[in-house]
Amino acid sequence: MQTRFKGRVWTFGDDISTDHIIAGKYLGTTDSKVFAEHAFEAVDPTWAKKVQPGDLIVAGDNFGCGSSREQAPVALKTLGISAILANSFARIFFRNAINLGFPVVECPGLKTGVKSGDIVELDMARGEVHLPGGPVMRFKPLPPNVLEILEAGGLVPKLRKELATKSAG
């Protein structure tokens, strides 16, 4: 599993809901490209065009609140966002992202130390974020059961492996 991510930051505030991330009117499909194209349209209609693969999102409290729509993390992952760091996450968004093998990390206070356009480096294994100019912020590593899903590449590959082991045993 990739554990180091270096990239450009996009910052967002508190209570970014799934409605901000992908509006309900685009959910009438299972095509993830559609979700990606319209990501964060309610905030900035040109955002999805400006994002580059490898960029990171840094946000405030309660990121991903609202709906259970997995299309929200799917949209951001499809655009190539490598990880999301927030003060805190809404619970379903957090589960959905981890299940997709999409790194989401609670790093309280990071948002006040960075601005959009900054380059940061996330080190999942060491629980560190390296800020521009040298400062390092530490965060509590993900719980072991969550890390296990992420390391497997998501819940589906993890279950496939477990089921295969079971039937072989």
Partner 1 sequence: MPGLTISEKILAKASGKERVSPGDIVDGSVDLLYMHEMLAMALMPFNEIGTMKVWDPDKIVVTLDHWVPPPTPEIAKMHQTIREFCKKQGIKRFHDVGDHGIIHQLIAERGYAHPWELVIGSDSHTNMVGAVGAFAAGIGATDTAAVMATGRLWLRVPETMRVDIHGKLGKCTGAKDVILKVIGTTGDDGARYAAVEFSGPTVRGFPMDERFVLCNMTTEMGAKVGMVAADATTKEYLAHSGHPFKAIDSDDDATFAKTHTFEIDGMGPQVACPSNPANLKPVEDVAGTKIDVAFLGSCTNARIEDLRIAAKLLRGEKVAPGVRFQITPASQIIYRQALKEGLVEIFMDAGATFTSSTCGPCFGGHMGTLAGDEVCISSTNRNYPGRMGSPTAQVYLASPWTVTASAIHGEITDPRKV
Residues forming the site for partner 1 (CB under 8 A): 15, 17, 19-20, 23-25, 27-30, 41-43, 61-62, 65-71, 88, 90-92, 95-96, 99-100, 143, 145, 154-156, 159-160, 163
Nearer to partner 1, 119 or 152 (CB): 152
Q: 92 or 137: whose CB is closer to partner 1?
A: 92
Shortest distance (Å) from residue 107 CB to partner 1: 16
Q: How far is the CB of 53 from partner 1 (least distance, A)?
A: 22
Smallest gap from Cβ 64 to partner 1, in A, equals 10
Q: What is the 3-state secondary structure (H, E, C) of the chain?
A: CCCEEEEEEEECCCCCEHHHHCCHHHCCCCCHHHHHHCCCCCCCCCHHHHCCCCCEEEECCCECECCCCCHHHHHHHHCCCCEEEECCECHHHHHHHHHCCCCEEECCCHHHHCCCCCEEEEECCCCEEECCCCCEEECCCCCHHHHHHHHCCCHHHHHHHHHHHHHHC
In the bound state with partner 1, the residue whose beta carbon lies nearer, of 2 and 30, is 30
Phi, psi of 89 (to 5 degrees): -120, 150
Shortest distance in whole angstroms from residue 121 CB to partner 1: 28
Residue among 41 and 55 whose Cβ is closer to partner 1: 41
